[in-house]
């Protein structure tokens, strides 16, 4: 998908600004694969990753409740994420996704980050295709455009 921001299409001297959905982090932490490849680009500073506290809270909740991670393991994962993702504090609320209201936290983070791309496996978000200046793509689409 050539419309996904690539390093060469980003502003001169800058890297793409990316918000990953909770499901990308959860998949990367539990199953590796393409989701982890996206996060690896953030860890390597090839892309600039952004996250908000509500997204971190949801990651911690899912790891604890669904995957039964221990509290120390969850804290270590959150610490690792904060080590490469810039924490933003969204100031604008949106109500774009009605089918799954918490998906709006991803969009709010994208606004605060001035994101070029939102990477997600979530169908409610993916069907939007674009939100303001950000393309909404799957991890595979994002990687294929690199």
Express each pLDDT in 32-83 by its tens digit. 999 999 999 999 999 999 999 999 999 999 999 999 999 999 999 999 999 9
Give the helix ranges, DSSP H, for 17-129. 22-31, 33-43, 53-65, 71-84, 104-113, 123-126
pLDDT confidence bin for 1, thresholds 50/70/90: very low
CATH code for the domain defined by 17-144: 3.40.50.1010
> Residue 131 has what DSSP assignment?
E
Query: How would DSSP label each residue in 27-38?
Result: HHHHH-HHHHHH
Domain spans in the chain, listed from the N-terminal domain onward: 17-144
Residue 94, pLDDT score: 96
Residue 7 has pLDDT above 80, yes or no: no
Instruction: Classify strands 134-137 and 117-119 as parallel, antiparallel or unpaired.
Output: parallel
Q: Taking a C-beta distance cutoff of 8 angstroms, is the pair 48, 16 a contact?
A: yes
Residue 112 has pLDDT above 70, yes or no: yes
Provide, rounded to the nearest whole percent, the portion of the chain with pLDDT above 70.
91
Q: Taking a C-beta distance cutoff of 8 angstroms, is the pair 60, 78 a contact?
A: yes
């Amino acid at each position: 998908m050539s419309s996904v921001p690539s390093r060469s299409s980003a502003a001169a001297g800058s890297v793409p600004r990316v918000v990953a959905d909770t499901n990308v982090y959860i998949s990367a932490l539990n199953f590796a694969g393409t989701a982890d490849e996206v996060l690896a680009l953030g860890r390597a500073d090839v892309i600039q990753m952004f996250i908000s506290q509500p997204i971190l809270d949801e990651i911690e909740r899912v790891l604890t409740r669904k995957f039964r991670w221990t509290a120390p393991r969850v804290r270590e994962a959150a610490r690792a994420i904060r080590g490469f993702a810039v924490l933003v504090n969204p100031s604008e609320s949106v109500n774009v996704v009605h089918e799954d209201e918490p998906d709006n936290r991803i969009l709010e983070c994208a606004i605060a980050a001035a994101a070029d791309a939102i990477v997600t496996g979530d169908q409610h978000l993916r069907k939007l295709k674009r939100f303001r200046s950000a393309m909404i793509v799957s991890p595979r689409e994002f990687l294929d455009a690199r």
